């Protein structure tokens, strides 16, 4: 049995985010608060260009954010295509706790956020705006899939009580079509938690993750007895198979999963090398390079 509590999260920025989550867990806080606080650090950081404030805009120059959160009782909340609100995951949490619904999008999500006391802020930094203008010149307004653009923070935590929660937040694919929603706010695709089994979250090309209900798939594979590592591997293989069958551009596609089970064992896998994830437990503080299928 691995040590508790444990928090894992996607990419390099997961190291700092884990520290915030860890403080919550160490002080006896629950996994839900830990994952929310953890990912909010990255949402607020303008230097992170793929999540929250400072995120790259869509092709119309609008920063539109996707996020969701899920707890150990299968309470869920999600927002998609949310504009001008710095902390979409906090709005997702409010959707979960303050409404009879689980998902709000666009204008309605923003209206709800304002009612909840969130304030409108400009999320398009000068740098993001400059790069977008440049892209308009070079890109002919065509959305592109570029693996460099794919960074979501997904975080999973197992708390002292043995409960699991997860959160996922992103500005989505850079220069996407306006209104495009990725996997990250979709429960089952970008994130899934089943407190009897484990939890998983995804990063990368959201369309491909949605196609196989990726995070739910990873959790179901763990339910069938696979380790978190083996479950992530099987899900990536499944996505690869679909890409091959559809003759899709595999070289342009990156997918990464991370997963944790009830024992606190964790794993990850990705389609192409370059993905990593951060782990924080009583015995481990580490950035781990995920192994890759290709």
Footprint of ligand SD4 on this chain (CB under 6 A)?
150-152, 170, 172-173, 182-184, 203-206
Q: How far is the CB of 26 from ligand SD4 (least distance, A)?
A: 28
Q: Is 285 part of the annotated catalytic residue set?
A: no
Count of other CB atoms within 10 angstroms of residue 146: 13
> Minimal distance in Å, beta carbon 11 to ligand SD4?
8
Q: From the candidates 10, 152, 201, 203, which is the catalytic residue?
A: 152
Query: Is the CB of 24 or the CB of 236 nearer to ligand SD4?
Result: 236
Least distance between ligand SD4 and beta carbon 163 (Å): 25
**Closest to ligand SD4 by CB, 125 or 152:** 152
Q: How many CB atoms lie within 10 A of CB 73?
A: 11
Sheet architecture: strand order including 6-10: 103-105, 76-83, 64-70, 164-170, 153-158, 6-10, 276-281, 284-289
Helix, strand, coil content of the chain in percent (nearest 5): 35, 25, 40
Least separation in angstroms between residue 283's CB and ligand SD4 is: 29
Cα 173 to the chain's mean position, in Å? 12
Q: Cα 212–217–218 angle (5° rounding)? A: 130
What is d(CA 57, CA 49) in angstroms, rounded to the nearest whole number? 9
Q: Which residues are annotated as catalytic? A: 152
């Amino acid at each position: 049995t691995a040590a508790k509590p444990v928090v894992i999260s996607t990419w390099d920025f997961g190291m700092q985010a884990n520290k915030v989550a860890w403080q919550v867990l160490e002080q006896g806080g629950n996994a839900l608060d830990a994952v929310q606080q953890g990912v909010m650090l990255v949402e607020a950081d303008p230097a992170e260009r793929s999540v929250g404030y400072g995120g790259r805009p869509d092709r119309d120059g609008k920063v539109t954010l996707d996020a969701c959160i899920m707890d150990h009782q299968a309470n869920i909340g999600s927002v998609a295509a949310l504009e001008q609100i710095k902390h979409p995951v906090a709005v997702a949490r409010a959707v979960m706790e303050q409404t009879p619904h689980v998902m709000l999008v666009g204008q309605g999500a923003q209206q709800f956020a304002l009612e909840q006391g969130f304030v409108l802020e400009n999320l398009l930094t000068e740098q993001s705006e400059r790069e977008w203008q440049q892209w308009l010149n070079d890109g002919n307004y065509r959305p592109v899939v570029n693996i460099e653009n794919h960074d979501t923070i997904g975080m999973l935590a197992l708390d002292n009580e043995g409960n699991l929660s997860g959160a996922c937040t992103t500005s989505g694919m850079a220069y996407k079509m306006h209104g495009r929603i990725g996997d990250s706010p979709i429960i089952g695709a970008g994130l899934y938690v089943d407190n009897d089994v484990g939890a998983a979250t995804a990063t990368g090309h959201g369309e491909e993750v949605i196609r196989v209900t990726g995070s739910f798939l990873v959790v179901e594979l763990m339910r069938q007895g696979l380790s978190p590592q083996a479950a992530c591997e099987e899900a990536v293989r499944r996505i690869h198979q679909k890409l091959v069958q559809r003759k899709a551009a595999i070289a342009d596609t990156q997918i990464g999963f991370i997963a944790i089970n009830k024992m606190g064992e964790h794993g990850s896998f990705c389609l192409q090398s370059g993905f990593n994830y951060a782990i924080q437990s009583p015995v481990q503080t580490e950035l781990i390079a995920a192994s890759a299928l290709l």
